[in-house]
Structure 1
Amino acid sequence: MIRTLVVEDDPLTAEAHAEYLGRLEGFELAGIARTAAAAQAAIRAPEDHGGIDLVLLDMNLPDGHGLELARRIRSSGIAVDIIAITAVRETDVVRTAINVGIVQYLIKPFSFAVFRDRLQSYLAYRRQLEFSGSSTTQADIDGMLASLRPSAPASLPKGLAASTLAVVIGYLKEAQVPVSAVQAAAALDLSRVTARRYLEHLADEQRATRTPRYGAPGRPEFEYRWVS
């Protein structure tokens, strides 16, 4: 579970983001901070309190700018990722946010679907990062960056989303044994039909193998394994 801190001074917005987060698999709300000072205290808390993996950061806080908080986090050496969630659109702020290592920048207002896609993209990045172990290949790095910066949906068959594909890829890479569409659907909170469509796409692209799984009555079910 990715323990996530919501940093937002507006109570209603903070609760909305927390509620959105609670609807996503793989994420756990670590708390809500309404000031930069409270956020920094939560991030610096001892790891036996649970620790923070991800910060959803507003830029306009009552006791400072979000960018200053991001700089303090980076200078402290604490390994936490930051996603900006803000109404600030100025180019210089966006540029600085990228420079200080903010991994995604989400402009308010947005729908739950947009929030879900960005967080699922981040989750796919984390899964690929963990799967790669202590050493990575160029393909691993390209996959991680692609998860954070998904390709345009037009590059995929109609009905497939780049963010969901990245999550399926991350799951398939982590699997120690071949998995079925039923297993993928249960693990990723997708319908069986949706999971199969993504797995079939990866098999058609020769990024995964497809083999029959026998032993159950009726038509054989297929199982899929990532091509390493």
Structure 2
Amino acid sequence: MTGDDAELRVLIVEDDPMTAEAHGDYVRRVPGFTVAAICLSGYDALARIDALADAGTPVDIVLLDMSLTDSHGLDVAKRMNTRGHGADIIAITAVRHLQVIKSAISTGITQYLIKPFTFAAFREKLENQRAFRLNLSGDEAGSLATQAAVDNALSALRSVSSERLPKGLIEETLAAVSGVVRDSMSPVSATEVGARLELSRVTVRRYLEHLVKTKQAVKQPRHGTPGRPEYEYRWA
């Protein structure tokens, strides 16, 4: 990264193709970030990060799953570090074991995001990482950090999102509702989403309204519904 406004290049390492593409879509929605590559295995990730560095387009951030089909994410992170890559690594995984989390921290993984998660939580992790990098960026090799810069950088990684789910909403259901809206080719109503997920229209509508409030979805009246209009939702 050559300046504060330069885009950060993100390498996504995730063995499920649909999940990997979803993470890629999330990255593209956050200003200041671009997808450098998507890798479906640890072996591919190591080869790709080397190739990108050799081509003069090094990776800034790695989004790394812990449970890959060919290797463990911790092993991949260790190999990336021993090869001298300066990329920051964010674990994105469903693994919740404390020992894995402790090992991830000792390996140099800077943030840990547990699946499933909202776009707001994902965006916060990326923006935290950018703040961390900016606080520790120097003008030249060998430059020294100030105490304030170190404190600010570490504080950025420790920040907690103020965007909490309203009482009664749970992350897993929100992720399911979000997935239906995001993957639909046309706007969908609360009734339609409820039918797909076997949830009541009232329940689904609460989640949809939360997506609208957090600007992840757009609400609009459905055409052809005279009288009291039925609303439909599309991904923002």
TM-score (norm 1): 0.64
Are residue 121 (structure 1) and residue 128 (structure 2) matched?
yes
Classify 1:120/1:152 alpha carbon distance in 2 versus 1 (closer, same or farther; 3 Å).
closer
Distance 2:83 2:160 in 1: 33
In the other structure, the counterpart of 2:37 is 31
Residue of structure 2 aligned with 1:8, choices 5, 11, 14: 14
Matched to 2:101, the amino acid is V
Shift of 1:130: 2.1
Report the AA paired with residue 42 of structure 1: R
CA RMSD for the aligned pairs?
A: 1.8
| 1:103 lines up with 2:116 in the alignment | no
Shift of the alpha carbon at 1:48? 2.2
Question: Is residue 17 of structure 1 aligned with residue 23 of structure 2?
Answer: yes
Please give the residue correspondences for 1:210-225 in structure 2 after superposition, counting only pairs within 5 Å.
none
Deviation of 1:91 (Å): 0.3
Percent identity between the two aligned chains:
48
Matches within 5 A, 1:54-93: 54-93=61-100
Q: Secondary structure at the match of 2:96?
A: coil
Structure-2 separation of matches of 1:125 and 1:80: 12
How far residue 132 of structure 1 moved from its aligned partner, in angstroms, is 7.2
Name which of 138, 143, 157 aligns with 1:148: 157
Give the aligned residue type for 2:159.
P
Partners of 1:79 and 1:117 in 2: CA distance: 21
What is the DSSP-based 3-state SS (H/G/I as helix, E as strand, rest coil) of the residue aligned with 1:4?
strand
The aligned amino acid for 2:39 is A
Amino acid at match of 1:26: G
Deviation readout 1:141-199 (Å, 9 max, x if unpaired): 0000001111675xxxxxxxxxxxxxxxxxxxxxxxxxxxxxxxxxxxxxxxxxxxxxx
Q: Is the 8 A contact 2:124 2:161 kept in 1?
A: no
How many equivalent residue pairs? 154
SS at 1:130's partner residue? coil
Could you tell me the TM-score, scaled by structure 2's length?
0.62
Gaps of 5+ in 1: 154-228
Amino acid at match of 1:48: A
> 4+ residue stretches of structure 1 with deviation over 4 A?
none
Matches of 1:87 and 1:126, distance apart in 2:
26
Residues 132, 140 of structure 1: 8 Å contact kept: no
Which residue matches 1:135?
144
Distance 2:69 2:91 in 1: 16
Distance 2:89 2:158 in 1: 15
Larger radius of gyration between Structure 1 and Structure 2: 2
